[in-house]
Chains A and B, each alone.
Chain A
Amino acid sequence: MKTLEAAGIALSLSVAASTGALAAPSCGTDPVTVSAYFETGFPLAGKLAAEFSNQFPNVKFDIKEDQFANLMENTPRLLAGDAPPDLVRLPSMSDLVANELLKNLDGYYTDFGWDQFPASQLIQLRVEPEGRPRGTGSLYAMGLNYSMTGVFYNKELAAKIGMTSPPTTLAELDAILAKAKAAGITPIIQFNKTNGGLAFPLQDLMGAYGPPEPINDWIFQKDGATIDTPSNLKAAEHLESWVKAGYFAPDTNAIDYFAMMSGFMKGDGLFMFNGDWESGNLDKQMAGKAGFFLMPPAEAGGRHAAMSAPLTYGIGAKAPHADCAAFFLNWVATNPEARKINVEIGGSNPGGPTSLPIPAVAPGSVTEATLAAGSVIAKENGAMDFIANATGAIFSAGWTPELQKLVGGRQTADGLLKAVQKEYEQELSR
């Protein structure tokens, strides 16, 4: 075995030597078809792939798309199958790394000089060999961009109830919600069908009541971490009080993500907890009518925190065109045209080396607001990964059913956290 490996290394070294002094991996010049598995409804990845093919005509993409819930179910099977995709949108990484289904990107990190990226950007993409904890160890994925969540609001509806500026404390937010409810406006339109979309406001509330670090520890599967903490309980109780006050649409459990988007753009609700990946979309379809603010802290002047995670893409461990996929991921972060697409369509920070400028955006746009919010989070070190990414099944087996029960009045705040923690421990004990 060892000799074989050594021979392989020697061979690849000699190939590298013959093609030029340690040239970084690329797509070469022969026709290549990169197979990709993307998430439905988010055009960014497809647009980037199209532009890439435009710049490198020998590269074609064979793109399959699926909705997030299917993505979570299919990815392990797909990566373990006979035709693993080269490029895949990853809902969660830990189990995939533990099962050796993802390619270790440390080599590319050196080849492409990703050490020039801010280290904090890549923390969430590092995993220890056994799959846990996350946050340290080898690099197993890259972000297409680095997104962040907060609260979008409908400016027209806000004006109707006299909301002139975004709330700066949680109490102010509560007051606005009550006012909207009294005015007959649905205060929050949020999806909760198939996937527990209430995880967005819940995690924002967690960030408002407590520091983000313990939440990250839990997501990264550090030993002894728990989601059932006193401050998280306060957050969950706060969410429960919103449910009880009728701040969510009564059919929240029947609203899926895209129904929420369509409803928000139609003016069916004042607030929507969502991520900056929709900024570009809202700027186009709701130009000038949508605003964004970060979840306000519980106390005035407190620290802001937000769910902020890379739009994670990995490469299959046995992917046939791994080099080309890696080259694509590097290109996304560094190519000026790609960065422009990233901001315009993706609405998020394109990441990449700090030396590169962030492409300009229209003043007064939602994208401008979300990018500005991103720098607040960076400054206050308030980024949290998504609580649904803690394990491969925690979203579908934990958060989603429990949050659906919470909205349906069948679960308490305390019961929610305990049930999710129990599922988490069960999964880690496997």
Chain B
Amino acid sequence: MSETTLDDAAMRRAEGSPLQSTGARRPRFGRDQRKLLIAAGFIAPALVMYAAFVLVPLGMSVFYSLLRWDGIGRWRFVGLRNYLIVLTDPDLLQVIGNAFNLILYFTLIPIALGLAVATVIRGHMAGPFGTITRTVLFLPQVIPLVAAGIAWSWMFASTGLVNQLLTALGLGPLARGWLGDFTFALPAVGMIGAWVLLGLCTMLLVTGIAKIDQSIYEAAELDGAGRWQELVYITIPALRQEIGVCVTVTVIAALASFDIVYIATAGGPGISTMVPGLEIYRLAFAHRQVGLASALAIVLMLLVLLCVLPIQWFARPKR
């Protein structure tokens, strides 16, 4: 049934194109109105769900952020005081700083490694080896982050594989309880994120570089350009969109991280791995400071926007 209709329509489209131009000259007013109305009908269900479970809660978050409320008893309006606390309390500032610190690992490592691999391959990954690579490198994207957290908690444990490898390499003195070490816990959490995002960034960049015209490189090589120059002047500019995507995805993953930290360190030792996402959860549900939690939530949302918008602008496709 549907197929014939589709075919008919397609056929009529081919025949009917001259007809259509005359049709477009019909009175516009009523038609636009009607078009808008119909579109609205199509959009309405999605908008209702979106409004009910995103816009309304977002508005409530803003409202809560102006309150002092334990979530159960009576609330009191305190104006912007919660925001003042978020922006001045040294602990909360460190928590926000930790999230930015994670960007170093979540973003830089996957992109640097991905670029390295992409520039060396400089082409499609074909054949069974390509398939296997793609499959393996995407595994971390498919499993829950919680599982990544559990696996790496075990890797970083005192008796875990990381220490085992260090000892085997004669670097035994470097072995430690990574996730309990003030200096190394945050980098360790960062490495978990890098591990998760590595495959995705690599594949994005490899796919991107395959689209670059090889003759550009050949011409550059004839002009005596070295690898580094090729990377800076050809590859990176050509991949700006792909890199932009990687940066966007990884920066959001770093700033809004929750699952990995929840499982691997619970924010410790001290607050050296505490991130805004986990702090919001704790403040709201364990410490019963719904107002402060909401203020931090709004600040987090704005920070993500502040970071992502410039990236989007830089990576926008050149017209």
Contacts and interface: CB of A to CB of B under 8 A. Distances in A.
Contacts of A98: 73
A72 B157 CA distance: 24
A421 to B, nearest CB: 15
A95 interface: yes
A375 B266 CA distance: 38
Nearest to A405: B270
A145 interface: no
B286 A396 contact: yes
Contacts of B285: 73-74, 76-77
What interface size band does chain B fall in? 20 to 34
Contacts of A396: 282, 286-287
Interface string A257-273: 00100000000000000
Given A69-B266, A392-B286, A401-B271, A254 B158 contact: yes
A255 B70 CA distance: 33
B179 interface: yes
Interface in A42-73: 69, 72-73
Interface in A399-430: 400-402, 404-405, 407-411, 427, 430
Given A95-B288, A397-B287, A254 B178 contact: yes
B289 interface: yes
A253 interface: yes
A286 interface: no
Contacts of A80: 71-72
Interface string A88-114: 000000010011010000000000000
B181 interface: yes
B177 interface: yes
A402 B182 CA distance: 12
Given A251-B176, A254-B181, A408-B182, A72 B286 contact: yes
B286 A76 contact: yes
A404 B269 contact: yes
Contacts of A404: 180, 182, 268-270
A405 B274 CA distance: 14
A349 interface: no
B286 A253 contact: no
Interface string B57-87: 0000000000010111100000000000000
Interface in A145-195: 192-194
A408 B181 contact: yes
A99 B180 contact: no
A407 B177 CA distance: 13
A411 B271 CA distance: 12
A53 B120 CA distance: 67
A88 B317 CA distance: 57
A230 interface: no
A253 B282 contact: no
A359 interface: no
A250 B176 contact: yes
A69 B266 CA distance: 9
Overall SS of chain A's interface = helix
Contact of A430 (B157, B178, B266, B289): B289
B180 A254 contact: yes
A250 B163 CA distance: 14
Interface string B159-190: 00000000000000000111111100000000
A284 to B, nearest CB: 24
A90 to B, nearest CB: 14
B268 A400 contact: yes
A408 B269 contact: yes
A408 B270 contact: yes
B67 to A, nearest CB: 12
A400 B282 CA distance: 14
Most interface-central of B68, B269, B271, B282 (chain A CB within 10 A): B269
B268 A401 contact: yes
Given A253-B180, A401-B270, A73 B70 contact: no
A141 B70 CA distance: 22
Given A77-B285, A405-B270, A410-B182, A99 B70 contact: yes
Contacts of A408: 181-182, 269-270
A392 B288 contact: yes
Given A255-B180, A408-B181, A410-B182, A76 B270 contact: no
A397 B279 CA distance: 10
Nearest to A430: B70
A232 interface: no
A251 B158 contact: yes
A199 B10 CA distance: 76
A73 B266 CA distance: 12
Interface string B287-301: 111000000000000
B89 to A, nearest CB: 10
A254 B177 contact: yes
A430 B68 contact: yes
Contacts of B271: 401
Contact of B282 (A73, A251, A405): A73
B287 A393 contact: yes
A252 interface: yes
B288 A76 contact: yes
Interface in B205-245: none
A427 B181 CA distance: 28
A405 B272 CA distance: 9
Interface in A358-410: 392-393, 396-397, 400-402, 404-405, 407-410
B177 A253 contact: yes
For the complex of A and B, the 5 pairs showing the least CB-CB separation, nearest first, are A254-B177, A254-B180, A251-B177, A253-B180, A404-B269
Given A76-B288, A430-B289, 14 more contacts: A73-B281, A73-B282, A80-B71, A99-B72, A194-B266, A250-B176, A253-B181, A254-B157, A254-B158, A254-B177, A255-B177, A393-B288, A396-B287, A404-B180
23 contacts: A69-B266, A77-B285, A95-B288, A99-B72, A192-B180, A193-B177, A193-B179, A193-B268, A251-B158, A252-B177, A253-B181, A253-B182, A254-B178, A254-B179, A254-B181, A392-B286, A392-B288, A400-B268, A401-B271, A402-B270, A407-B269, A410-B182, A430-B289
Interface of B: 68, 70-73, 157-158, 176-182, 266-271, 281-282, 285-289
Interface of A: 69, 72-74, 76-77, 80, 95, 98-99, 101, 192-194, 250-255, 259, 392-393, 396-397, 400-402, 404-405, 407-411, 427, 430
